[in-house]
Amino acid sequence: MKALVLEELKQPLQLQERPDPQPGPGEVVVRLEAAALNRRDYWITQGLYPGTTTPTVPGSDGAGVVSATGEGVDAGLQGAKVLVNPSKGWGDDPQAQGGDFEVLGMPADGTFATHLLTTPEQLLERPAHLSAQEAAALPIAALTAWRALFTQGKLQAGQRVLITGIGGGVALFCAQFAIAAGAEVYVTSSSEEKISRVVEMGASGGINYQDENWAREFRARHGQVHLIVDGAGGKDYAKLLDLARTAGRIVNYGSTAGAPERIDLFRLFWKQLRIIGSTMGTAEELEAMLEFISSHQLHPVIDSTYALRDGNRALDCMKNHQQFGKLVLDCSES
């Protein structure tokens, strides 16, 4: 097999030849057709993800075909087209993951490879209308979007939702899901082109967050919203409290732009706002999300696909925030 290995922090990934994995009892091997990138992978390469250790094979998202089964596993699984659930050990409480929770792709070797050794419990059937590349684009970003929007954000049809940083993978899934669920969707972005593209997909409008007065302008144009889903944080975070209507919800799943400067607690309590954190999701949420994708025949937006050996170019693209949609690696090519 081949794998993209991070041998040293802040160094390019190396394409290495490794012995083919052999499934032990209760294990399976997936011949990966595609993997997808998340910001997490970039941060791991930079040593910015908590607990990063090397050497490691990054990659949490993957789709492929079961190519071998170990003792005690139904051999009929061989040939099944699957996608990989990157969450392991969530635990019994749907409200929050337990202490054993782990994400595939550091510490365990991930999907930037031609093969993955895993267990059948981590595999799901691929939505039939999706290609392997599209299925690989789903797990982390679409699951995070699903939980943030519906479980934590309690979005209902007809409500108004603001999604920040639409160039992000999670943000774009939030927009697709919210549009499909009948919400009125607004976005922020540093790119007019990305705003136009999401408006073409059915969003009601968007605003460029690089304009210092963007929040004031947004409120004048569109008013306040029931729900804000944010993965950026940063100096503009405090402005979100102005854009949420009374009793509104602000759900955070990331902090790409760093720590917020100052939160106006008066606004928080006087407006009866709820600020809610969200991370990935449960196996049940993953299944519900895949069902929603199938019933609405949604296709993830893929920005571009790179050969596995060009994984460093894909990471550069992510580093520079150039993409609109997911960056995918073709793992079948080696």
Ligand X SMILES: NC(=O)c1ccc[n+]([C@@H]2O[C@H](COP(=O)([O-])OP(=O)(O)OC[C@H]3O[C@@H](n4cnc5c(N)ncnc54)[C@H](OP(=O)(O)O)[C@@H]3O)[C@@H](O)[C@H]2O)c1
Q: Which is nearer to ligand X, 131 or 190 (CB)?
A: 190
Examine residue 231 and tell whether it contacts ligand X (CB under 6 A). yes
In angstroms, what CA-CA distances link 32 with 152, 162, 219, 292, 305? 32, 35, 46, 24, 14
Shortest Cβ distance from residue 283 to ligand X (Å)?
15
Shortest Cβ distance from residue 143 to ligand X (Å)?
8
Of 218, 164, 152, 154, give the one whose Cα is nearest residue 189: 164
In angstroms, what CA-CA distances link 27 with 21, 74, 101, 123? 10, 10, 19, 11
In angstroms, what CA-CA distances link 250 with 64, 65, 124, 226? 36, 39, 31, 9
List the interface residues with ligand X, window 91-120 (CB under 6 A). Answer: none
Shortest Cβ distance from residue 244 to ligand X (Å)?
16
Listed ranges 2-10, 28-36, 105-113, 183-191: which one lies at the site for ligand X (CB under 6 A):
183-191
DSSP 148: I
Q: Bridge-partner residues for 274, per DSSP?
A: 249
Examine residue 153 and tell whether it contacts ligand X (CB under 6 A). no
Is residue 164 exposed (0-12), middle (13-18) or buried (19+ Cβ within 10 Å)?
buried
Query: Are 300 and 326 spatial neighbours (Cβ–Cβ below 8 Å)?
Result: yes
Shortest Cβ distance from residue 318 to ligand X (Å)?
6
Shortest Cβ distance from residue 293 to ligand X (Å)?
17
Shortest Cβ distance from residue 68 to ligand X (Å)?
30
Of 73, 181, 164, give the one whose Cα is nearest residue 118: 73
Choosing from 146, 150, 218, 253, the residue that interacts with ligand X (CB under 6 A) is: 253
Strand order across the beta sheet in which 160-163 lies: 205-208, 184-189, 160-163, 225-230, 244-252, 274-277
List the interface residues with ligand X, window 284-323 (CB under 6 A). Answer: 318, 321
Shortest Cβ distance from residue 278 to ligand X (Å)?
6
Choosing from 58, 64, 86, 168, the residue that interacts with ligand X (CB under 6 A) is: 168
CA 243 to chain centre: 25
Q: Which is nearer to ligand X, 77 or 238 (CB)?
A: 238
List the interface residues with ligand X, window 34-63 (CB under 6 A). Answer: 38-40
Q: Which is nearer to ligand X, 77 or 257 (CB)?
A: 257
Q: Which residues bind ligand X (CB under 6 A)?
A: 38-40, 140-141, 144, 164-171, 188-191, 194, 209, 231-232, 234, 236, 253-257, 279-280, 318, 321
